[in-house]
Amino acid sequence: MGKGLAALLNDNGNISSGKDENADKVLGTIAEIPMDQILANPDQPRTIFDQEALEELAVSIKELGIIQPITVRRTADDKFQIISGERRFRAAKIAGLEAIPAYLRLADDQEVLEMALVENIQREELDPIEIALSYQRLIDECQLTQEAMSERVGKKRSTITNYLRLLKLQPLIQAGLRDKMISMGHARALINVTNEDEQVDIYHAAIKKELSVRQVEDAVRKLKNEKTGIQRKTTGTPLPREYDKAREALSENLQTQVDLSRSKRGKGKISISFGSDAELERILEKLQS
């Protein structure tokens, strides 16, 4: 890999910005950095590292080495802070490496945070709540709009909105989603329950009874009907399966509750539920796309 990054930086002056003289000689360089000169990123979006997976990666690193260099930035005390690649860094430690190949970026604190968040989201290695929190941090700390995030991470705005909505879930349910006790489909259905105690009741029932996503959707719909005093009308004959499939497809596509009723004469209506103005806007965008 050639010289260490510290040596390259020293040879070319005190470079700390892409505008500094000779910065072009350093940027884009991949070189070995001693492990003891590397610092973890305090703003690392990933909060859980699977130890077994790290050990498996460490075995691979022992056999094949680091295939993809980590990305770092130089700090004021001549250390190197990780922007992306902390999982590789941790596995390299387990493997006993004394140095690791790294790619140098020159960035301020906000740029580092943004790059770390975007890099992790693009890799899709975070759990749904970590992704949602990463999107929220991009809004709160990096002042990015949902439109700007959509461009940065290559995700539809509706996808970003759906992840952000997960943060409305009661904390116990968020933990259950992170621990894979329930799926994203279950979580999206539970978001439509505004009362946290009722959310938790259906959540517990979903786990205990191993309810499907559709069964949770039905439980949420039943709860809403009971609250509004609206009972689903029956025609004496069940809704044809093709209509039920159409309702399910609409519900999945719009990611909200959809009701479909039909009379014997073939007349009917479709009802689309939404819990806020923001959700209505998302649904309208989806219908117009």
CA-closest candidate to residue 94, choices 46, 56, 45, 64: 56
Instruction: Give the Å distances, CA to CA, from 279 to 138, 170, 181, 269, 275.
Output: 20, 18, 25, 21, 6
Burial of 73 (0-12, 13-18, 19+ CB in 10 A): buried
Amino acid at 248: E
Query: In the 8-state DSSP scheme, what is residue 239?
Result: P
Stretches where the chain sits below pLDDT 70 are 1-29, 43-47, 106-109, 122-125, 228-239, 275, 278, 289
Annotation: CATH topology of 5-107: 3.90.1530
Whole-model pTM: value is 0.52
Place of tokens 């980590």: 70
Catalytic annotation, pick one of 32, 86, 114, 217 = 86
Give residue 22's pLDDT. 47
Question: In Å, what is the CA distance from 259 to each residue of 52, 98, 188, 239, 256?
Answer: 44, 61, 16, 11, 10
DSSP 8-state symbol, 166: G
Nearest to 8 by CA among 38, 30, 37: 30
Find, among 166, 188, 168, the residue nearest to 258 by Cα.
188
d(CA 66, CA 75): 23
Residue 17 CA, distance from chain mean position: 30
How do the domains of the chain map onto residue ranges? 5-107, 127-165, 235-289
Tokens for 48?
A: 């859980």
Active site residue 86: yes
pLDDT digits (tens, 9 = 90+) for 16-47: 444 455 444 445 567 788 999 999 877 666 66
With contact defined as beta carbons under 8 Å apart, do 256 and 279 qualify? yes
Q: For residue 111, what pLDDT is reported?
A: 73
Distance of CA 260 to the CA centre of its chain: 32
